[in-house]
Amino acid sequence: MEKYYLTTAIDYVNGAPHIGHAYEKILTDIIARHYSQRCDDVYFLTGTDEHGIKIQKTAAERGITPKELCDENSRKFIDAWKALDIDYNRFIRTTDDDHVNTVQKIFKKMVEKGDIYKNSYQGLYCAGCESFLSEKDLTEDGLCPHHLKKPELVSEENYFFRLTKYKDAIIKHIKENPDFIVPSFRANEVLNQLEDIQDISVSRSKSNVQWGIDVLDDKEQSIYVWIDALSNYITAIGYDTENPSEKFKKLWPADVQVIGKDILKFHSIYWPAILLSLDLPLPKHIFAHGWITIDESKMSKSIGNVIAPVDVLKNFNMENADAFRFYMAASAPCGKDGNYSDDDFKEKVNAHLANSMGNLLNRTLSMLVKYFDGEIKEDFKVSASNELVEGSMSLLKTAVGKINIVKNNFDNFEIAEAAQEIIDLTDITNKYVTDNAPWTLAKENKMTECGQVLTTVLDVMCIISSLIYPFCPNIAKDMANQLSFDHKTKLDNLTFDNIKTGKIIEKNDIHPVFLRLDSEFADKSAKK
């Protein structure tokens, strides 16, 4: 695998980031970190969408310029992603000069190709969606199904994109590439939407929308959201209509574009059509994740259940975001909706990260120090001719087998499923310790057998630390340090024999990698 390029949707900066925004960024960051364990060149793009009527109106209400509002709110997203350890390569803003200039060139090229034309238009416009809706898109009461507001009837002269020109090509691509849209059950939704598509408006009159990118040869028109916002995926890596950068040539097409299910239509119909118009290949996968509810209720400002991700970290006095990242990523199967609740969050992360994984490492290292002064001896290592404790080789084979299972999960964007495989491996390893009772072996003076049990567990813990790294980078690094193991080891280089021989740890260097959220020590640690 030479490269891996992945993107998120860019967030609209008319407000602050909430837990739904965080879910998408966490998922994508976890995917990026996983592939960094398999590939040397991973490029992760995220950013903010900063043009349109909503920003124009909100800025006017506050008595500031649209750019000042964008600067203020994009900073909130940048700060939130930093707190959540989102390790992107570029944070693009659609007000960035390179993006603005390239979008103008893209629009002009599509005009010259005949794919964009000017026409008078009357339609139902939802400001919340930044989109024109048809009658069949609305609820029985004539409302936008997402914002539950009546769209405005708009009449103006706009530029239109010949979306219908590419209808058959997109249908053919979806049918011939069943993994283009993930999860696959979403493909039928898109194919149904394609049946009734019409050409779409790709500009707005300056008399209605001033805050946007000017059409180069028509300063009375602003380039409308889809060509502006969607093009960020190529402008950010150096696309140019005449002389694309070497970075673009290497990275495009994207390996996966991670989006919410509510904007799948725009990414699986509008975006492929724009790319086809530009004679560019389509992304390999469009991964549409589900929504996050709060205590089983949809997030809504009116009922006051919108949660800022940073507030979760503060409420639980967490020094880093690992527990939140793990919980969010594990909250929903591939493409399905998930739920967040404080009680479930505390219960799950305490059970999996503190009681199961953290405690397993802590007590195993403590026994290694107690019985062997922290030293791994050569005759503790398991081999076909040196399996002193039954089940040791079987556990190691299971652990190595989990690596390929988790890789396959990620290849299919089954992130929650991958997390469960790691927890299952931890549970199996805990059972191995209970079944073989190294403390009893030590009492019986079966020291080599005792050492083999501990070494086997620590070999598996090296694998667990690698597999959990994308979810919990801080915990994984702490685990690896206590194991004297290189946390940057590529997944393909993990074996039955990961723990080195010799002294690996001192008693004073052993500490819990994750404290229970309700523990007295966790509270004290956070308050220091």
Question: Active-site residue numbers?
Answer: 18, 21, 126, 129, 144, 147, 298, 301
Using CA atoms, how far residue 324 sits from 19, 99, 294, 343, in Å, is: 10, 33, 14, 13
Which residue stretches of 125-244 are H helix? 167-176, 187-194, 225-230, 232-235
User: Could you tell me whether strands 213-215 and 116-126 are parallel, antiparallel, or unpaired per DSSP bridges?
Assistant: unpaired
Who contacts 31 (Cβ-Cβ below 8 Å, separation ≥6)?
A: 6, 256, 258, 410, 413, 415, 470
Cα–Cα dist 265/132, whole Å: 13
Q: Minimal CA–CA distance to 352: which of 331, 328, 326, 334?
A: 326
Q: At 466, which amino acid appears? A: S
CA distance 437 to 146: 56
In Å, the largest CA–CA distance within the chain is 90
Q: How far apart are CA 369 and CA 506, in angstroms?
A: 7
In sequence order, which residues have a C-beta less than 8 Å from that of residue 278 and are 6 or more positions away? 106, 109, 110, 241
Give the H/E segment covering residue 275: helix 271-277
Residues 6+ apart with CB under 8 A from 369: 505, 506, 507, 510
Work out the number of other CB atoms within 10 angstroms of the CB of residue 295.
Answer: 12
- Helix/strand/coil for 131: strand
Helix 342-349 and helix 322-329, axial crossing angle in degrees, nearest 10: 100
* C-alpha distances in Å from residue 29, one per residue of 199, 280, 485, 524, 527: 35, 26, 23, 30, 28
Cβ distance 454 to 438 under 8 Å? yes
Nearest CA to 464 out of 439, 499, 434 is that of: 499
Report the C-alpha dihedral over residues 383, 386, 389, 393, rounded to 10 degrees. 10
Of 173, 144, 5, the residue nearest 88 (C-alpha): 5
Q: Which residues, in sequence order, are CB contacts of 233 under 8 Å at separation 6+?
A: 7, 45, 254, 257, 271, 283
Could you tell me the two tokens for 316? 């639980």
Q: What is the dihedral of CA 358, 360, 366, 371, to 10 degrees?
A: -170
The 10 Å CB-count burial string (b at 16+, else e) for 438-457 is beebbeeebbebbbbbbbbb
Q: Do 241 and 261 touch, CB atoms closer than 8 A?
A: no
Contact assessment for residue 181 and residue 264, using Cβ atoms and an 8 Å cutoff: yes
